[in-house]
Structure 1
């Protein structure tokens, strides 16, 4: 009698091929590996902060040699810093600060009160900043959310105008999927609403390389909006079109006590002047 086979070679090959397809499909659903072999993952919504994209996109060089009499040291903080040791920063010579208040229309910094009030209580001049996500809501809607959640301004001599953090998208395409013209229109929508709500032109925080790529190096905001430039090197370098000088310069993300340190382009009385409008 002929031997009964459990399956034909052709059927066996189909089974093996099916298993291989299933394994390949599973592998494609796993996150890509990072350089160190660990799984890469997008950051959590709300975790973005000033300068998050500077080192990955622009790199970093040597730090400035020192602070001159015409520069005033400052810091910027977000939820990443938690409860900040403001007395230690004040004693180290830091005289002003910016605190992340909001992101998009979906996130408020849970440490905002400690950071914003704590800096004020030790004597610092402080302000709030908003991390923009132009693909999630209009500029006007995000400006309203910012002002309604800590980003306002008062003429007390201790409050800086709000800052718009507009830089690389940590959650996807670097320009948020917007054309250069649409990005410029979005920024106008934000700054115009902020001005209408507070009476102040907001500070614009950005990096020159991002600004060139995502706005086409648009120069129209330079007339009224102070520039806060991000560059981790010995000098601010090339500025975006229209601005002849920076008002503030974020020069490192690895400074003492709090990582993000900045230089105000002027003596302390000029920081006071910006606060007073």
Structure 2
């Protein structure tokens, strides 16, 4: 039976429509993938853990802090200081390939207005070893000095914004990577690094490993009214990132104690 031209056109249009339908999702996914180097603390918290809309409970004395990256650009540190922010963490590095171009303005600017400040590293365990990234961090702003104004470096270990959430690591492989980073950082600086993470990620990607709580301060991410359940090994958090929509700079934190406890962590 001969096929009419109108039928051929209909089949071609249907084929094109189906092709577009099945290619659009992958194109959208590619468009949503962030640029390498743009990762920052808490980037995956809202997506994976949600966002609470109420202010945090502050039953005990706590000290306000912020964390910043190139996402914030040049920061108005004087306004933050006036608003009551007394400490800050600044992204220094990511993986072994990225240095924050605003690091000097942010790290020195916070110090110059009177804040106690430190640097953090966004980990990408699929790129290189923990030791490699710890050395890269220390060599590019993540060091420590006993001046009473410099906090120990922080390891930001959380959801992978560029791919598989656990960076292709097994749970034991992730624990080994983190240990490699922490051991190298301590060998280089004499300090135990702070661990920044979220409980749900920690459970999934480390199997809720509890072996770092005795030595490494915990910085927990949870955008809600309380820090909630903590990862295994920690009875309390040292710091809590409670929102990504705070005043002046989005990422605001509570240090679990008065300012003298922030100073104590800085002194070591």
* TM bucket normalised to smaller: over 0.9
1:42-62 alpha-carbon deviations (Å, 9 max, x no partner): 011111100011111010223
For residues 101-180 of structure 1, the aligned pairs below 5 Å read: 101-180=92-171
Q: 2:80 pairs with 86, 89, 105, which one?
A: 89
Partner of 2:212: 221
CA contact (8 A) 1:64 1:235 kept: no
Kindly tell me: are residues 184 and 11 of structure 1, through their superposed partners in 2, closer, same or farther at Cα, counting changes over 3 Å? farther
CA contact (8 A) 1:63 1:232 kept: no
Query: Hey, what's the Cα distance between the residues in 2 that align with 1:264 and 1:13?
Result: 70
CA contact (8 A) 2:107 2:118 kept: yes
Matched residues, number = 268
Note the C-alpha offset of 1:234. 0.8
Kindly tell me: are residues 178 and 13 of structure 1, through their superposed partners in 2, closer, same or farther at Cα, counting changes over 3 Å? farther
CA contact (8 A) 1:31 1:41 kept: no
CA contact (8 A) 2:55 2:224 kept: yes
RMSD: 2.4
CA contact (8 A) 1:128 1:161 kept: yes
- Work out which of the two has the higher radius of gyration on C-alpha atoms and give 1 or 2: 1
Q: 1:79 pairs with 66, 70, 95, which one?
A: 70
Asked whether 1:193 is paired with 2:184, we answer: yes
Taking structure 1 as the reference length, what is the TM-score of the superposition?
A: 0.89
Note the C-alpha offset of 1:41. 1.9
Can you give the 5+ residue segments of structure 1 that lack an aligned partner in the other structure? 1-7
CA contact (8 A) 2:56 2:226 kept: no
Can you give the 5+ residue segments of structure 2 that lack an aligned partner in the other structure? none
Query: Hey, what's the Cα distance between the residues in 1 that align with 2:62 and 2:217?
Result: 16
Note the C-alpha offset of 1:63. 3.0
Partner of 2:259: 268
Query: Hey, what's the Cα distance between the residues in 2 that align with 1:10 and 1:192?
Result: 74
Query: Hey, what's the Cα distance between the residues in 2 that align with 1:199 and 1:266?
Result: 24
Note the C-alpha offset of 1:132. 0.5
Kindly tell me: are residues 189 and 14 of structure 1, through their superposed partners in 2, closer, same or farther at Cα, counting changes over 3 Å? farther
Note the C-alpha offset of 1:18. 7.6
Query: Hey, what's the Cα distance between the residues in 1 that align with 2:3 and 2:61?
Result: 83
Query: Hey, what's the Cα distance between the residues in 2 that align with 1:211 and 1:58?
Result: 12
What SS class does the counterpart of residue 117 from structure 2 fall into? strand
Query: Hey, what's the Cα distance between the residues in 2 that align with 1:31 and 1:62?
Result: 31
Query: Hey, what's the Cα distance between the residues in 2 that align with 1:62 and 1:12?
Result: 57
Taking structure 2 as the reference length, what is the TM-score of the superposition?
A: 0.92
1:115-156 alpha-carbon deviations (Å, 9 max, x no partner): 000000000000000000111111110101111110110111
